[in-house]
Amino acid sequence: MAVIADLVDAVFHVVSVNEIALDQRDSVDVPGTPQHDDPVKFRLGAFIPADRNKFYIGAISFDVLRRKDGTIHRTEVGFLKFAVDEFVEADGDPVPMVELFLGTSAEGSTDADIDRVMTISRKGCRFTVPIEAPGITAAGIVHRFFTDDGRFCYHFQGPASGQPEGAGIKYDTHHSVNESEWIAISRVSETPL
């Protein structure tokens, strides 16, 4: 077991040929119980930029490796984003959030090749891909629907003040996760059946 970092209450070490672990130390007095009853943590940290309320704190990337011309090339096929973002709900209120981005294939890693598939914040959880889980019922009310490729979003709202019925708006997202860049292109009217 090769030790990478020897901490006071934890050890960061190699556990097999391709695995590492950050393990809590056990008590010298009572083996098998924690030396210090506090969970081990891996932290990512970033300073708040002075001029904006949207910034990355960190990310964990999933990469496909290929050897080309004697060097290793990485293709990012997905990543977890940890950030503070005022555009999560397009209301200007910055909130801590986590997002999962996944690539469309294992071949490209440009911004166009990777799409947001899930956002989690204190304001809720949003999926931009279909959810298919037999026996699971969503607890909330779905009011946004995205086309298969994520290009268009249909957003349905209740009646506005003085309006007799709700409205649906079709947005062209231009595949942007920033809702302030979306363009409303049409109104979906209610038609009696």
Least Cα distance to 177 among 119, 102, 121, 125 occurs for 119
Q: How do the domains of the chain map onto residue ranges? A: 1-42, 44-129, 141-193
Q: What is the pLDDT of residues 68-109, one digit of tens each?
A: 899 999 999 999 999 988 665 556 677 889 999 998 878 876
Lowest mean pLDDT among 11-20, 25-34, 105-114: 105-114
Q: Determine the pLDDT at residue 99.
A: 92
Q: pTM to 2 decimals?
A: 0.62
Q: If you write DSSP's letter for every residue of 67-114 in order, what string do you get?
A: EETTEEEEEEEEEEEEEEETTTTTSS--EEEEEEEEESSSS--SGGGE
